[in-house]
Structure 1
């Protein structure tokens, strides 16, 4: 924060500025590592967001297909009701039995086509649900990979502040875990 010539640095800001203006190879390695980890983390984060969007889109498509299947089943039920009425009408005295028999046959045929259509829409809905579940699983994998990279970046900052070489190796280890998780998310 600065104002009227007064400037205050945080400890991390001071360490980064000092590292940038020194010939300290250790700090330089950590700075480059941090930049690489931030880039990889951004890519993983983008992929995580993209798969989350895909999962939502696929779930929406599943809901649309399920609604269409329900509409078809409602239509099927309406035809069943009409068929039942035609069957009952045949029992009435002075009924035109042949006319109602023909209607019963027509409704049965129409119902068969409607039933096939409704079942196809249900199958489409199930397929979209499966795609959504798969995309959501991928999203979780990308999120884990991103989190590991973020932890590695935090460890790199601590390494820079403490100048501990063993923390640098821990940073590389966590970063490698993140890369492994990212590789698993690709597959």
Structure 2
């Protein structure tokens, strides 16, 4: 009510003025509503980045398992080739014994078999060594993917702790917890960058 140049606000007028200016919280708590909005937006961004990191961690773990499986297959194939090589070596040794015990007119036939076994052994050896090298390469790729998976997992974990800290900061309205949330989010992003760079 007004009277003689004197204006009196009702309680609802006072609340409406403060709501229009940002509410009591901003004036009484040093920008609490602004802090809440800022933490909410940052938490949503952190959660989104964390979800991407989690996906990448799962993908690299799946790749590591696939590569390890490929290495096992190549090792088995190499082992089969070495067994084949050993069988040819045994046949060659028997042919050499037969050549040494055979009469002169049959030695040439046995020598032909010996030469053939030697040639086949060399071919088998090349295939076995190639398969072993492929197995080693797959093992190395698997180890690299597992290392990258661990980096993604570390980054995701740090971001999850950052989100938890954000929740505590919202409940307690402590500014230092908000700073801690930002610091942990930064560490999570750095570890995620290391994962992306295969470091």
Class of the TM-score when normalised by the shorter of the 2 chains: 0.7 to 0.9
Secondary structure at the aligned position of 1:24 is classed as helix
Aligned to 1:91: 100
Aligned to 1:48: 57
Q: Does 1:159 align with 2:159?
A: no
* Runs of 5+ unmatched residues, structure 2: 1-31
Runs (4 or more) in structure 1 with deviation over 3 Å come to none
Scaled by the length of structure 2, the TM-score of the pair is 0.80
Aligned to 1:100: 110
CA distance in structure 2 between the partners assigned to 1:125 and 1:33 by the alignment: 45
Q: Map Cα deviations across residues 11-67 of structure 1 (whole Å, 9 max, x no partner).
A: xxxxxxxxxxxx822111111121111111100000000111111111111111111
Cα drift, residue 92 of structure 1: 2.7
| Count, aligned residues | 165
Scaled by the length of structure 1, the TM-score of the pair is 0.85
1:67 to 62, 76, 96: 76
Q: How does 1:132-151 map to 2 (within 5 A)?
A: 132-151=142-161
Q: Does 1:34 align with 2:39?
A: no
Cα drift, residue 91 of structure 1: 3.0
* Runs of 5+ unmatched residues, structure 1: 1-22
1:82 to 91, 102, 105: 91
Tell which has more relative contact order, 1 or 2 (C-alpha 8 A, sep 6+): 1
Which structure has the larger Rg? 2
1:109 to 119, 127, 134: 119
